[in-house]
Structure 1
């Protein structure tokens, strides 16, 4: 049975932009596990594996269903211990939890405001309706009102990357000498922006820019193969 990864897509099935799916796609490749992506628009997620999850990513690993990106990474580490580690031990798991919190509570809220109209515009009409309704309920305002803060968020985004710049003074990867799941967490956030929006977040010469370029080249250029907006 083919290993499946259900991934969020736009009107173009090749436009797969979910930061959480990107974490898992990179983790699967890190583990050297073959998989097939199943592009899934917002309005089709509830039909994935007979309603297994309200969100993606979801993997079907030869009949074993797992959801949520961090839980999938933990599953892969336990299920395939003989393959390259995503954490490098318990310390790496703790590091990844901290990086997950940083990404979710610092980077993602800013990116959501910066990208919100770009994401809306790359969706099919039915998914645009869903996206508008769900995000306006989440933010308590219209998409247009959320997007009104995009320029301000973009101007301040670079300062939110200072913890990464500090770490990258001492090592080439957040994981140390090589990439670990902690790297894929932040990569997913920045790849979300790269695929969904033409807005420029990283300046040439920035250590985070250079790290992101290295991430794009990992696993035979897996990240770079996704078309930038």
Structure 2
């Protein structure tokens, strides 16, 4: 049975950009599971699976609906144990929890600063007022002013990624010789930026960028199949 994934989009349904939905997509592909994406905009989320969650991703797997990318990964690991592991055991789950918190604390705030105005410009007419009002209330300033500060913070952001950079300088993936869910957590953050904005977060000779390009090519180029923002 095909799994359904509610996937965040803006005006263009062919440009899914949510970092958390990308985590779920990569996890589904890693497990080799057939899935179909259901393009979902912000103001549609309240109707997803009878209001199961205030955010996406949400999946429908048979008679079960699951919200939250990490919960989805745990569900897939438990429901399909005969397929490639996302964690490699309990230690891998604990490691992935750390990577998720590190990514959300270290990467997401600056990426939000860098791309929030670009994401605003991706929204359809119905979602534009919602996105501006909700994000400006959260960030405390106009979206244009938020993104105007990105150049000043870029150097510090790149420096903050040194633990990731150092790790990837001696192994191809966070999971070791092959990717695990921890890789897809970080990949989701960078894919969010790649699809949403032409702003360059990384130098092209950065080991992180090399790793990211490897991840883009996984599963028949699942990530690369969505074009980068121009």
TM-score surpassing 0.5?
Answer: yes
SS at 1:177 equivalent: coil
Worse-superposed segment, 153-162 or 174-183: 153-162
Cα separation, 2, equivalents of 1:60 and 1:44:
16
Any stretches of 5+ residues in structure 2 without a counterpart? none
SS at 1:39 equivalent: strand
Shift of 1:177: 1.1
Within 5 Å, which residues of 2 pair with 1:57-206? Answer: 57-206=57-206
Shift of 1:156: 2.9
Shift of 1:51: 1.3
Q: Aligned residues, how many? A: 229
Residue 48 (1) aligns with residue 21 (2): no
Backbone CA RMSD of aligned residues: 1.1
SS at 1:146 equivalent: helix
Match of 2:15 in 1: 15
TM-score normalised by structure 2 residue count: 0.96
SS at 1:116 equivalent: helix
TM-score normalised by structure 1 residue count: 0.97
Worse-superposed segment, 187-196 or 165-174: 165-174
Worse-superposed segment, 105-114 or 168-177: 168-177
Cα separation, 2, equivalents of 1:223 and 1:114:
21
Worse-superposed segment, 204-213 or 27-36: 204-213
Cα separation, 2, equivalents of 1:134 and 1:185:
25
Cα separation, 2, equivalents of 1:129 and 1:160:
33
SS at 1:49 equivalent: helix
Shift of 1:159: 1.2
Cα separation, 2, equivalents of 1:148 and 1:172:
34
SS at 2:13 equivalent: coil
Q: Which structure 1 residue ranges, 4+ long, deviate > 2 Å from structure 2?
A: 153-157
